Amino acid sequence: MISEQMQDALNKQLQKEFYSAYLYLGMSAWCSENGLNGSAKWFMIQFEEEQMHAMKVYHYLLGQGNHIELLSVKPSKTQYDSLLSCFEQSLSHERAMTKSFNTLCDMALKEKDHATYTFLQWFVNEQVEEEATVGEVIGKLKLVGNGNGLFMIDSQLLDRQPQVDLP
Ligand code: FEO
């Protein structure tokens, strides 16, 4: 069993992961409504991955004999100015999530909770990958601007395949 303080922090992280899912579902909806089907699929896979992240935290808490709290998830917008804006907001969100995991790691080390620290390392690595991937798409979108190049990138995003990594 992990400490009550760590349990509360992980329950908050569970809420943040579900919010992340909601955020990406909103982006996927906006892309679908604007004919960006490749990007809609990309964000839909992101939505599914965020739910998987939430469930990793959920199963970890239960596995440690701790208590689950399902905190409310705030609404997420479904209106964006552009595809670039979606990805820029995604990057800023992922940077905030990285900070959140770093704080959790600090807390785990302070409590000498090595099981939780080890558990969190998967997320620390995942954040590095997510920030890099989103940053790369932003770079391409900035390069091409609007027009034909945008649709070329959209069709490239259609190639994304779901990650097979269930909790
Ligand atoms: Fe759950 Fe996008 O990190």
What is the rounded distance in angstroms from the CA atom of residue 11 to the CA atom of residue 45?
A: 23
* Closest-CA residue to 90 (of 77, 102, 101): 77
| Ligand 1: nearest atom to the Cα of 126 | 3
Q: Is the pLDDT of residue 154 over 80?
A: yes
Q: 52: CA distance to ligand 1 center in Å?
A: 9
Q: Full-prediction pTM beyond 0.85?
A: yes
| Residues having CB within 6 Å of any atom of ligand 1 | 17, 20, 50, 53, 94, 97, 130
* Closest-CA residue to 12 (of 133, 138, 107): 107
> For the segment 8-40, what is each residue's pLDDT rounded down to a tens digit?
999 999 999 999 999 999 999 999 999 999 999
CA distances from 39 to 51, 82, 94 (A): 18, 11, 17
Residue type, 37: N
Q: Is the pLDDT of residue 41 over 80?
A: yes
Q: 111: CA distance to ligand 1 center in Å?
A: 24
Q: 151: CA distance to ligand 1 center in Å?
A: 26
Q: 93: CA distance to ligand 1 center in Å?
A: 9
Tokens 């770093």: give the residue. Answer: 102
